[in-house]
Amino acid sequence: MKKYTVLIVGGGSTWTPGLLKGICARQETFPIEKLIMYDVNEERQQVIGDFAKTLFREDYPEIDFHYTTSKDEAFTESIDFVFVQMRTGGYTMREQDEKIPLEMGLIGQETCGPGGFAYGMRSIKDMIELVQNVRKHNKEAWILNYTNPAAIVAVALQNAFPEDKRILNICDQPENLLRSYGRLLNMNERDFDPVYFGLNHFGWFTNLYDPEGKDLLPLLRETILDGGFRPADHEQRDQSWLDTYAMVEQMVRDFPDYLPNTYLQYYLYPDKVLQKLNPSFTRTNEVQNGREKRVFDDCRRVSETGTAKDSNVIVNDAHGEFILIVAESIAHNKGNNFIVILKNNGIVSNLPDDAMVEVSASLYANGPRPYAVGDIPVFYKGLIEGQYAYERLTAEAFMEGSYAKALQALTLNRTIVSASKAREVLDALIEANQGFWPELR
């Protein structure tokens, strides 16, 4: 079996150890010859990189591994897959994205509303550069991207590289949800054949077929309405995630047609969700005290003790496993079905062709083959079109350095609505993001 060369960009990410454990677990099905980790932050990269050395010495001794902050070492012609999980501006800027809107009574969230807008404007620049760096040496490598806000990154990369067929933006939340459905129904998530449509962090499951072709969605709906909804993954057990999962029941009660992505809570109930968000202690603070601390402390401990055997650093299997099974399906031309982000081109027939939709597709060596969704009902179409316009205007505001388009984007966002609020938050975010955003005129 061919052995692959993989580059992880954002090697110092809190999610990297989980991904590395996944790599160890899949050596039979996705063998890796060479693994490079690249990050712009030397300290973060070193902590996670040294953890990796210990882990691989014990679990994957034949892998040729090194980590670097040098672009020349990272971007080479031999790469088969690039896994991207970078955070431009780090948690310092994520905190601003959350707190600035919250201080104005608006939703402050990593990927939704004004915070998602601000993060998008930062991510686009680095993501475009990343693709250029990869393509300088290598036209064939698959770029699998987790970097958020994946919805906006996907639109921007589609605009910047319209002919590039080997960039695939992915999100693990549909996978997290499938695992939660599995937990509720006492089934394995891989036995579900889901139908899903929407934009990233803005979509719905319409059907959930079992191996015999029976649609389990009605049963699941009743189960949620009877007993509520719970996360499967341990990573999503912090209070903010429990609050998020608790909102699923309400969404299903109000809009029972389909099962919603959890991120829809911010758009459908901004007033209610705001009551749960604390402007002086946001998700960033929760992550800094939780996942980030746990991961970095444990990685340091593993390097000191010289063994990763007792490491419990990974509490989210879905994240690391999902990108690997996506890569495996492409590498081996398996055509397995996954929910991924693709240019619409008629998949949802009554949405614009250039929207970046999140849908089911079979993933082959030559790319995804999506399943047609057909027409969607007017309520969902209306919601998606507003959000699609917001995403597109955000990408255009970046490309054109346009204040007018930024203001239009934020005014369209359902978490804001008021144009004067949109202007107020935009001006504050411009101030906070100096050096990260292009100048908006």
10 is in the binding site of which of ligand G6P, ligand NAD, Mn ion, none (Cβ under 5 to 8 A by kind)? ligand NAD
First-to-final CA distance of the chain: 54
Q: CB burial class (10 A; 0-12, 13-18, 19+) of residue 268?
A: middle
Q: Considering only CA atoms, which of 287, 342, 291 is closest in space to residue 170?
A: 342
Least CB distance to ligand NAD at residue 184 (A): 21
Q: Which stretch binds ligand NAD (CB under 6 A): 5-13, 255-263, 355-363, 426-434?
A: 5-13
Q: Which stretch binds ligand NAD (CB under 6 A): 12-20, 226-234, 374-382, 428-436?
A: 12-20
Q: Which stretch binds ligand NAD (CB under 6 A): 85-93, 157-165, 181-189, 209-217?
A: 85-93
Q: SS3 of 259, please?
A: strand
Least CB distance to Mn ion at residue 248 (A): 16
189 near ligand NAD, judged by CB under 6 A = no
98 near ligand G6P, judged by CB under 6 A = no
Give the x-and-dash track for 303-342 against ligand G6P (CB under 6 A).
----------------------------------------
Q: SS3 of 191, please?
A: helix
Closer to ligand G6P by Cβ: residue 199 or 422: 199
The footprint of ligand G6P on residues 224-283 (CB under 6 A) is 283
Q: Considering only CA atoms, which of 134, 175, 169 is closest in space to residue 155?
A: 169
Closer to ligand G6P by Cβ: residue 20 or 407: 20
User: What residues contact residue 414 under an 8 Å CB cut-off, 6+ apart?
Assistant: 267, 268, 270, 383, 386, 387
Beta strand segments in 271-427, E = 336-343, 356-364, 367-370
**Sheet strands side by side (includes 4-9):** 64-68, 32-38, 4-9, 81-84, 142-145, 167-169, 336-343, 356-364, 367-370
Torsion of CA 180, 184, 188, 192, to 10 degrees: -80
Peptide bond into 260 cis (omega under 30): no
Q: Pick from 54, 96, 148, 360 the residue near ligand G6P by CB under 6 A.
A: 148
Give the x-and-dash track for 147-176 against Mn ion (CB under 5 A).
------------------------x-x---
Q: Do the Cβ atoms of 384 and 198 come closer than 8 Å?
A: yes
Which active-site residues does the annotation give?
Answer: 172, 263
The footprint of ligand NAD on residues 318-377 (CB under 6 A) is 319
63 near ligand G6P, judged by CB under 6 A = no
Least CB distance to Mn ion at residue 173 (A): 5
Structure tokens at 243: 């609050």
Q: Do the Cβ atoms of 46 and 16 come closer than 8 Å?
A: no
Using CA atoms, how far residue 139 sits from 82, 163, 167, in Å, is 12, 11, 11
Closer to Mn ion by Cβ: residue 178 or 426: 178
Closer to ligand NAD by Cβ: residue 50 or 215: 50
Least CB distance to Mn ion at residue 115 (A): 14
172 near ligand NAD, judged by CB under 6 A = yes
Q: Do the Cβ atoms of 322 and 178 come closer than 8 Å?
A: no
Report the distance separating Cα 314 and Cα 291, nearest Å.
Answer: 9
175 is in the binding site of which of ligand NAD, ligand G6P, Mn ion, none (Cβ under 5 to 8 A by kind)? none
Amino acid at 421: K
Least CB distance to ligand NAD at residue 92 (A): 10
Q: SS3 of 207, please?
A: strand
Q: SS3 of 430, please?
A: helix
Q: Which stretch binds ligand G6P (CB under 6 A): 172-180, 270-278, 298-306, 375-383?
A: 172-180
Residue 210 CB neighbour total at 10 angstroms? 14
- How many binding residues for ligand NAD (CB under 6 A)? 26
Closer to ligand NAD by Cβ: residue 12 or 260: 12
Q: Which stretch binds ligand G6P (CB under 6 A): 5-13, 158-166, 167-175, 375-383?
A: 167-175
172 near ligand G6P, judged by CB under 6 A = yes
The residues binding ligand G6P (CB under 6 A) are: 110-111, 148, 171-173, 176, 283, 287
Binding stretches for ligand NAD (CB under 6 A)? 9-10, 12-15, 38-41, 44, 85-88, 90-91, 126, 146-148, 150, 171-173, 319
